Amino acid sequence: MKIPRINTTKGKQPVTVVPDNVLVEGFLNSDAPAEYIDVVRLLEYAEPDAEKNGAILRQCLEGKARLLPVYPGVGEKEPTGAKLVGSIMDGGLYLVPIR
């Protein structure tokens, strides 16, 4: 996941300059592509604690993992080695490690 930029008092900077507890909010207000925004909104829903969802998003931005929504009702299954972040409408959001 490419690191989007946000406006700060020091100009445009990578969203990762903010602490975990506001990282998701910063990401949602950044210049990130729409498909990433949609997945991060699911993260906010699956894990409402700002500190925890920010730490999860930081892993994704650092290239250590990716977020994957899984909808069992349409035949999708969780990937091997994935960790459930939380429930989303009609499915679950998983954190998949990148090897």
Write the pLDDT tens digit of every residue in 55-94. Answer: 999 999 999 999 999 998 888 898 899 999 999 999 999 9
Say if pTM beats, i.e. exceeds, 0.85.
yes
Task: Give the tens place of pLDDT for each residue, 26-50.
Answer: 999 999 999 999 999 999 999 999 9
Alpha carbons 16 and 82: distance in angstroms, whole number: 24
Alpha carbons 62 and 45: distance in angstroms, whole number: 21
